[in-house]
Amino acid sequence: MKLLRNLRKISTFQIPERGHYKLLDNKDIDFFSSILPSHSILTKDLDAYNTDWLRFHKGNSSIVLKPKTTEEVKSILEYCNKEKIAIVPQGGNTGQVIGSVPIYDEVILSLQNMNRILKIDSSQGVVWTEAGVILEYLNSFCEEHGWIVPLDLASKGSCFIGGNVATCAGGVRYIRYGSLHGNVLGLEAVLPTGEILSDLKGLRKDNTGYDYKQLFIGSEGTLGVITKIALLLAPKPISQQVAMISCKSYENVLQLLKDAKQGIGEILSAFEMMDSYIYSLLLKHTPRTRNPFTADSEFYVLIETSGSNKDHDIEKLQAYLENGLKNNVITDAVLALDQEQANNFWRIREGTATATKSEGYVFKYDLSLSIAKMYDLVRKTRERVGSLGYTVGYGHVGDGNLHLVVSTNEKEKAHRILEPWIYEQIQELKGSVSAEHGIGLLKASKLKYTKSKVMIENMKLMKNIFDPNGIMNPYKVLNNSN
Amino acid sequence: MKLLRNLRKISTFQIPERGHYKLLDNKDIDFFSSILPSHSILTKDLDAYNTDWLRFHKGNSSIVLKPKTTEEVKSILEYCNKEKIAIVPQGGNTGQVIGSVPIYDEVILSLQNMNRILKIDSSQGVVWTEAGVILEYLNSFCEEHGWIVPLDLASKGSCFIGGNVATCAGGVRYIRYGSLHGNVLGLEAVLPTGEILSDLKGLRKDNTGYDYKQLFIGSEGTLGVITKIALLLAPKPISQQVAMISCKSYENVLQLLKDAKQGIGEILSAFEMMDSYIYSLLLKHTPRTRNPFTADSEFYVLIETSGSNKDHDIEKLQAYLENGLKNNVITDAVLALDQEQANNFWRIREGTATATKSEGYVFKYDLSLSIAKMYDLVRKTRERVGSLGYTVGYGHVGDGNLHLVVSTNEKEKAHRILEPWIYEQIQELKGSVSAEHGIGLLKASKLKYTKSKVMIENMKLMKNIFDPNGIMNPYKVLNNSN
């Protein structure tokens, strides 16, 4: 990991008081040393483990445990539960909501050493893996067998599949392959009580009682530690085509999306919108990109198809684009002719995080909204922020998921203008305050804008079943600010 | 509903003792009369409501309540919870596991009057509906707007969408559109406490805490009453092609499936296997069917594709079939040339329930197994049953879901030979005792063959959160036999 820059502290989140957890002493270290080999225990140079990906927060843990087996996880959890020692499970630590780092001195349980792919069934397309396998590596392994992981994220080179499941990660191919709630076939999870919930049969259908592995998908480490996963794969596409489209209005984007679902729905694997504001930042700040268009436009859409027959896919995509041009829904369109062009288009889209950061302090909102009203919120925000910052909108519009970002050099002022106003807007529009990034600590106090009191109360009851002493990833998702 | 035939009683399931629920008295009837109009309360001719679809069991309820609104459901549940009156929610009552009828005298809460489709979003393909809408009707409505319900069942003309969600129904297009765990975007459910869990935003992505609507999907009415649903739709296919294939061995079927996923994966919408034993019954007992093949074979596969371009789909399907013939994986194949031929193929496949029943008393097992080992179990069962019955295997093999049926005129003898042996086999093969039919009362005592003790115990704790007095669909799924 790189050297960490200064923390980007700002009062956008509240830190609850430290819970009544035991302070680690020598007896505890001795216990951990008795069950783990010495190279699986770190007590020095822990900055990278203590600090979150976006450098919002640095915790103060003095120990990282790296179990290699489910039994080791079980021993750690049982002990900590008995002693009331708080734990934060950590995968690739690439989360965006302060979910995988200690807030105070929680023991860090890193899944780094549980990094074996266990088995693949090439007939059915199912892979069994430990939680600490890096997404990109898992995908490469599956590709060799003719399959792909139905999930693709910009952080794929660092994030772990266990973290993906624990946070119910979304990403760019969600529009095609859907949610991990549909694709995770089974889990092994260790509870703080030492119980192991194990269902790794890898069956596609299993209607035998409450499907409560689903609770762990998106639980962000607050219920237990996911140690193994059985995952449904998608066939590796034979042909992938990428096109970049420009159009005049958001209404055109909506029409394009509808036409895409109906006309090329079976091969559509990405539909990513960028407004002209983010697009110009992307061209400015992303190395090795070229603008495929000669004229400026209001909106840009990257479309990707994945299919089994190149001729068919190109024919469908071309017909779709020609139809859009004919109906004046599309202003201009460029179909990538080779991999280099395709990479150029994707590079533009994937440069968003760097591009927005280059313009100042970043307020990033990861929203779900009904797509019809989605862009109105960007316009309203831009108007409200005015000259105080630069407001852009982009994202997985095909899934109703917008990333709304304000870059500013006046962070305290912008903060006061933006919050809680923006969350109230989301609530009014019946949206979600977190489409795919989760809640963590960062958004715990915002949960109420999406979930009713009753629902939050029931979540707390559920947490209490699995984690009666509240040692699992405390302060995250559910806390006193809900 | 038709007149009911005699019950098919057999000792394949245990009926637990009646719980300490209140016996209904006049005060209760008065209460129900105070909140519901008289035509929403039935107290006569309740046979059809008391008896399950397969006529395994007839309950003894004296009252059917048919609320029209969520508020009415809330009033009923609150009252019954307070008075400790047991309730069974009922949809189309087409379940196969005695899940939707009273075991004793439970109040029947029918969703028949909550039958309005509320809204459709034609841009995004999302429909909002009350729970009592018939699946086929809902699908026709969506088709008019260019979409389909991502679920198709033989019982579509009678089953309710609420029941589909409450049982996590599977069906023939699961291979394409996947599980309701991925397709249900939101629910409104009324709890016995009177709390309403409502999340009907219809967002495709929403990572805000535990996704516990998932618990209701497949809960079979044991947690609360699902009253409304937001459902993700799939684009209505422009082209549908159907082919019937014959082949020599189960290994050929597996190869065909793998080739289908890889070669025509994006348009594949059904892959249904029939062995020669069920196939001959189907030809014998299903009216208006013609065998498309001149020679007999060991296995038959019905393949359906759904896509957006007829020429492409036919070209892909033909290439797939030709490749199979060339490699001797396929013995013979017939592509339906028109709707009439396609209907004929589907009629063959959908005649299974009638065909097996025509041969005697039916033991039907709805199993999930790793597909590599799946057919071995049919062979072993056939050997074990010997001349005592007729053993067939068919089903959604593309999803690892096998229907194994033994028709016999020696039911008690066959029962002793089949059970618990077959469940022990499933357990050993790490399969599921219920792939898509659920548990109900019929399989409650079989749950342990698929779910561990810890998992069953946790399910009971979860039930206790939502239904502390245990009034919701008692005796089903979780009971003393687990």
Q: What is the pLDDT of residues B276-298, one digit of tens each?
A: 999 999 999 998 888 999 999 99
CA angle A426, A10, A470 (to 5 degrees): 75
Asked if A455 reaches chain B (Cβ–Cβ under 8 Å), the answer is yes
Residues B283 and B311 in one domain: yes
CB contact at 8 A, B106 and B61: yes
How far is residue A210 CA from its own chain's centroid? 26
Strand stretches in B239-288, DSSP E: 239-247, 268-275
| Burial degree of A106 (CB within 10 A; 0-12, 13-18, 19+) | buried
Last residue of a domain, one of B181, B207, B235: B235
Asked if A125 reaches chain B (Cβ–Cβ under 8 Å), the answer is yes
* Of the partner residues B209, B399, B466, the one whose CB lies closest to the CB of residue A204: B399
CB contact at 8 A, A223 and A467: yes
Residues B221 and B128 in one domain: yes
Residue B429 lies in a domain: yes
Distance (Å, whole) CA B134 – CA B153: 11
Distance (Å, whole) CA B309 – CA B240: 9
Distance (Å, whole) CA B60 – CA B48: 11
Give Cα separations from A463 to A471, B462, B470 (angstroms).
Answer: 11, 10, 21
Residues A367 and A336 in one domain: no
Residues B293 and B320 in one domain: yes
The per-residue pLDDT of chain B, averaged, comes to 95
Residue A293, phi then psi, degrees to nearest 5: -105, 150
* Number of domains composing chain A: 3
Asked if A465 reaches chain B (Cβ–Cβ under 8 Å), the answer is yes
* Of the partner residues A123, A167, A218, the one whose CB lies closest to the CB of residue B372: A123
Residues A154 and A219 in one domain: yes
Say which CATH number the domain at A320 has: 3.30.70.2190
| Burial degree of A25 (CB within 10 A; 0-12, 13-18, 19+) | exposed
Residue A446 lies in a domain: no
Top-confidence range, B67-76, B356-365, B403-412: B67-76
Asked if A203 reaches chain B (Cβ–Cβ under 8 Å), the answer is yes
Distance (Å, whole) CA B137 – CA B160: 9
Asked if B478 reaches chain A (Cβ–Cβ under 8 Å), the answer is yes
How far is residue A226 CA from its own chain's centroid? 16
Distance (Å, whole) CA B453 – CA B87: 27
Say which CATH number the domain at B145 has: 3.30.465.10
Residue A444 lies in a domain: no
Asked if A444 reaches chain B (Cβ–Cβ under 8 Å), the answer is no
Question: Taking Cα atoms as reference points, which of A227, A234, A236, A237 lies closest to residue A128?
Answer: A227
Largest CA distance in chain A: 75
CB contact at 8 A, A241 and A304: yes
Asked if A468 reaches chain B (Cβ–Cβ under 8 Å), the answer is no
Interchain pair B204, A401: CB under 8 A? yes
Q: Which residue has the tokens 């003393």?
A: B480
Residues A241, B243, B156, B189: what is their CA dihedral angle, to the nearest 10 degrees?
Answer: -30
Name residue B186's beta-bridge partners.
B230
Distance (Å, whole) CA B284 – CA B297: 16
Residue A461 lies in a domain: no
| Burial degree of B465 (CB within 10 A; 0-12, 13-18, 19+) | middle
Residues B334 and B277 in one domain: yes
pLDDT, one tens digit per residue, over B115-159 is 999 999 988 899 999 999 999 999 999 999 999 999 999 899 999
Position B330 pLDDT exceeds 50: yes
Shortest distance, CA B173 to any CA of chain A (angstroms):
13
Residues A138 and A211 in one domain: yes
Residues A341 and A365 in one domain: no
Residues B130 and B189 in one domain: yes
Shortest distance, CA B21 to any CA of chain A (angstroms):
23
CB contact at 8 A, B275 and B252: no
Residue B12 lies in a domain: no
Q: Which residue has the tokens 């050297």?
A: A3
* Of the partner residues A207, A401, A447, the one whose CB lies closest to the CB of residue B434: A207
Interchain pair B266, A316: CB under 8 A? no
* Of the partner residues A183, A208, A465, the one whose CB lies closest to the CB of residue B434: A208
Question: Taking Cα atoms as reference points, which of B329, B353, B312 lies closest to residue B258?
Answer: B329
Residue type, B158: S
Residue A82 lies in a domain: no
Residues A389 and A406 in one domain: yes
Position B234 pLDDT exceeds 50: yes
| Burial degree of B96 (CB within 10 A; 0-12, 13-18, 19+) | buried
Could you say which residues from 342 to 381 on chain A have a Cβ atom under 8 Å away from some Cβ of chain B?
A: 368-372
Average pLDDT over residues B429-445: 96
If chain A, 482 residues long, is cut into consecutive pieces of 10 residues, what is the mean pLDDT of each piece?
51 86 98 98 97 93 98 98 98 96 98 98 94 98 97 94 97 93 97 95 95 96 98 96 98 95 94 97 92 96 96 97 97 96 94 89 93 94 96 94 94 94 96 96 96 94 95 96 88
Distance (Å, whole) CA B265 – CA A108: 42
* Host domain of residue A150: 117-235
Residues B342 and B397 in one domain: no
| Burial degree of B453 (CB within 10 A; 0-12, 13-18, 19+) | exposed
**DSSP strand pairing (A239-247 vs A332-335):** antiparallel
Average pLDDT over residues B431-439: 96
Q: Taking the alpha carbons of A383, A384, A387, A393 in that order, is the dihedral positive or negative?
A: negative
Last residue of a domain, one of A291, A321, A352: A352
Residues B248, B249, B254, B255: what is their CA dihedral angle, to the nearest 10 degrees?
Answer: -50
Report pLDDT for B479: 94
Distance (Å, whole) CA A448 – CA A450: 5
Residue B286 lies in a domain: yes
Q: Which residues contact B74 (CB under 8 A, 6 or more apart)?
A: B190, B194, B196
Could you say which residues from 41 to 60 on chain B have a Cβ atom under 8 Å away from some Cβ of chain A?
A: none
Last residue of a domain, one of B437, B454, B474: B437
Please report which confidence band the pLDDT of residue B2 belongs to, taking 50, 70 and 90 as the band edges. very low
Residue count of chain A:
482
Residues A410 and A307 in one domain: no
Residue B410 lies in a domain: yes
